[in-house]
Amino acid sequence: MARILIVDDSESQRTGITRIVEKLGHKAVTAKDGADGVEKARQEKPDLILMDVVMPNLNGFQATRTISKDPETAHIPIVLVTTKDQETDKVWGMRQGAKAYVTKPIKEEELATVLKELLQV
């Protein structure tokens, strides 16, 4: 069982993603925006992070860049989970340090595949 940090400013999205993560047998930890996500990543040292992009304070691209450049958290794989479905968004997200990109609405099978790949479980 992995510990997965879910970073999303929408409570309903956090709840929905938490349900999927727990159904897949993992433990979910949540953060309400990018800044909170960076803090929780440092405190919790999760096995993986599911990061929204469009958020107040610190957006998901900025938070991903911060986490992936910090020696304390750089080892944590980040999956961007967003409604932004343009190829340029995906390319930019991967350049910020994301390991995968999933578009909303989330398909449980797709998320399960990405988690299995990145967590090697």
φ/ψ (deg, to 5) at 118: -80, -30
**Residue-number span of the structural domain to which 19 is assigned:** 3-119
pTM above 0.95, yes or no: yes
**What total of structural domains would you count in the chain?**
1
* Residue 10: C-alpha distances to residues 16, 24, 97 (Å): 10, 21, 23
Amino acid identity of residue 47, one-letter, is: D
Phi–psi pair at 40, nearest 5 degrees: -65, -35
Domain CATH code at residue 54: 3.40.50.2300
Mean pLDDT, rounded, for 99-114: 96
- Residue 121 confidence (pLDDT): 61
pLDDT per position as a tens digit, 44-91: 999 999 999 999 989 999 999 999 999 999 999 999 999 999 999 999
Can you give the pLDDT at residue 120? 84
CA-wise closest residue to 50 among 19, 28, 23, 81: 81
Per-residue pLDDT tens for 9-20?
A: 999 999 999 999
